Amino acid sequence: MKNIIPILSWLPSYNSSFLKGDILAGFTVGIILIPQGIAYAIIAELPPIYGLYTALIPLIVYTIFGTSRRLAVGPVAIDSLIIAASVSTLAKVGTEHYISIVLALTMMVGIIQIIVGVFRLGFIVNFLSKPVLTGFVTAAALIIGLNQFKSLLRIDIERNNKIQYLIADIIEKFSTIHLKSLLLGGCAILIIYSLKKVHRRFPGALVVVILGIVIMKFFETYFEGVQIVRDIPKGLPQFAIPEINWALIKQLIPIALTLSFTGFLQAISIAKSFVEEDDAPVLDSNRELIALGLSNIMGSFSSTYTSSGSFARSAINKEMGAQSPMANVFAAIFILLTLFFLTPVFYYLPKSVLAAIIIVAIFGLIKIKDIQFLYKTNKKDFIMMLVTFIVTMTIGVKEGILIGVLVSIFVVIFETTRPHMAVLGKVPGTSHFYRNKRRFSDVILHDEILIVRFDAQLYFANTNFFKERLADFVKAKGPKLKVIIIDAEVISNIDSSGIAMFQELVTHYKNKNIQMYFTSIKGPVRDAMTKSRLIDTIGKENFFMSIQEGVDHFEKGETGGYDKYIHQANVN
């Protein structure tokens, strides 16, 4: 039961000495969650109360089923943007139909996450590479920020997820800005940044929310025209199962898959970063998927939208001394008190202040340093990031993720079909060290020996590349060539296409009076060669423990006497 419900493994042994840190962390996260929940719900084009519901229900469910002691689950900016960008194409924003689709989508996300977790398919998220996520998150952050200009400046622009149209609309309507809204929002941005200078975890969002409410309540006549949040319902949401049908499922599957994997990848990367710092046991990614899935399913029954892990709130948990997941419980208690008693307080909250909070939050998502790092260190990764960034900004959020994943898969396929392959020479003054001749111009090359290293598994997609490159090396070597030594130390696996290729090559070069030697063959490769009888075609006498042993055999006829280790195979 402890594996299924992790709370049973830590709650019975909960230590009262943990209370101080957990209470402080919990209430700090709860305080920050109030304005964030409201702001993120607005990003998702939902009524503000849905942000508070999402700050409560998933947090409680994750505490029961999650394995991280500091991960804070709830509404996040990226999920909110994806929902707004996607669901707005299926239903009119602000309608009951829009809300019902969002709840159905949340349930689908939870179901997908549980299925992937139960069948231990968490490795799928590896196709969402870091460069792809960097490009996607940066583009999405810019779109979120620009969309907030509608509230920050109180200008009548259409919500749009294509940056070229959004910028054009802002420029066209810029002359109609509402100066008092801009004044409040601009001051809120300055205050939040100033308080961050004092202490980076200072709850600046809460401060500007309080100031904004006080100003609008007591000085409303001086700020005529500034839009406010107005009524937020009290109490808990009603339990209801989202309406769903096959036609809707087909429409929502691409969005649900995107949210499932981006949400999981975000949560697990945050949780793992704190595991490394705390030297705690390694997290089980698949159990985390199940916990997130249950959070989303249970949340969809209680008027919440898709939730995931928040780095900022998780970092606050750590910094404030959270010792266990009980910190999440205390955060939930604070949200609960707010829902029952404090929602009327937010009536006068200016929308331009909420826009300011969102804009400051998304600035942290713009990955300038990561982009610079990719540009300096890996051009292929930089191109992947750039393609994802451009597609996300100019075509759409779903399309950006899809193209990014496809580009990642293409790069993986390209690199495995054309892996690194090197001609080796002997390091001067050594008895057995060999290195790439393109990197070291002083290595010694034998006129009659070609030593080749192939740095990948050998399978159907790269056998032609191997053959063509080997032919180029043989041609460059010239007519004196007598033996080809294949250094197989890095070849971890070989399939039937690779076996057939070696059958062909050994025969081909034997007819040209060129012998093929094989060194450092790994066990799985030996097994495949033995089963296919390739080892008989090559000749057992042409297998060696090391490159030097092969060279000595050619030059002096010596053998190392390691047949037991060279020819062993697990074959019946």
- Per residue in 532-564, pLDDT tens? 999 999 999 999 999 999 999 999 887 777 788
Q: Is residue 286 part of a domain?
A: yes
Which of residues 362, 378, 411 is at a domain's end?
411
Tell the residue number behind the tokens 């008693």, with chain if given: 341
Q: In what order do the strands lie in the sheet with 543-544?
A: 434-436, 421-426, 449-454, 483-487, 515-519, 543-544
The mean pLDDT value of the chain amounts to 88
pLDDT in tens, 202-230: 778 788 989 999 999 999 888 988 988 88
Q: What is the pLDDT of residue 276?
A: 46
First to last CA, the chain: 42
Q: Is residue 37 part of a domain?
A: yes
- What's the mean pLDDT in 504-513? 95
Looking at the structure, tell me whether residues 431 and 394 fall in a common domain: no
Looking at the structure, tell me whether residues 64 and 157 fall in a common domain: yes
Looking at the structure, tell me whether residues 161 and 196 fall in a common domain: yes
Decide: 397 and 78 in contact? Cβ < 8 Å.
no
Looking at the structure, tell me whether residues 86 and 199 fall in a common domain: yes
Nearest to 203 by CA among 71, 340, 351, 24: 24
Q: What is the pLDDT of residue 311?
A: 73
Number of domains in the chain: 2
pLDDT in tens, 138-158: 887 788 788 888 889 999 887
187-196, 399-408, 495-504: least confident range: 399-408
Number of helical (H) and strand (E) elements in the chain, helices listed first: 24, 8
Q: What is the pLDDT of residue 254?
A: 87
Per DSSP, 486 falls in state: E
Which of residues 364, 385, 411 is at a domain's end?
411
126 has pLDDT over 70: no
pLDDT in tens, 265-283: 778 777 766 654 444 455 6
Looking at the structure, tell me whether residues 148 and 27 fall in a common domain: yes
Q: What is the pLDDT of residue 294?
A: 95
Q: What is the pLDDT of residue 434?
A: 96
Residues 6+ apart with CB under 8 A from 504: none
Q: Is residue 385 part of a domain?
A: yes
Looking at the structure, tell me whether residues 332 and 458 fall in a common domain: no
pLDDT in tens, 356-407: 887 887 777 777 888 999 999 988 899 989 999 999 889 877 788 788 888 8
Which of residues 380, 395, 411 is at a domain's end?
411
Write out the DSSP string of 512-568.
Answer: TT-EEEEES--HHHHHHHHHTTHHHHH-GGGEESSHHHHHHHHHH----S-HHHHS-
Domain residue limits at 476: 419-566
Q: What is the pLDDT of residue 426?
A: 95
- Return the structure tokens found at 486: 């294949």
Q: What is the pLDDT of residue 277?
A: 47
- Return the structure tokens found at 223: 């700020």
Q: What is the pLDDT of residue 392?
A: 87
Per DSSP, 174 falls in state: G
Looking at the structure, tell me whether residues 239 and 345 fall in a common domain: yes
Looking at the structure, tell me whether residues 365 and 450 fall in a common domain: no
The whole-angstrom distance between residue 162's C-alpha and the CA centroid of its chain comes to 23
Q: What is the pLDDT of residue 337?
A: 92
- Helix pair 77-87, 397-417: axis angle to 10 deg: 110
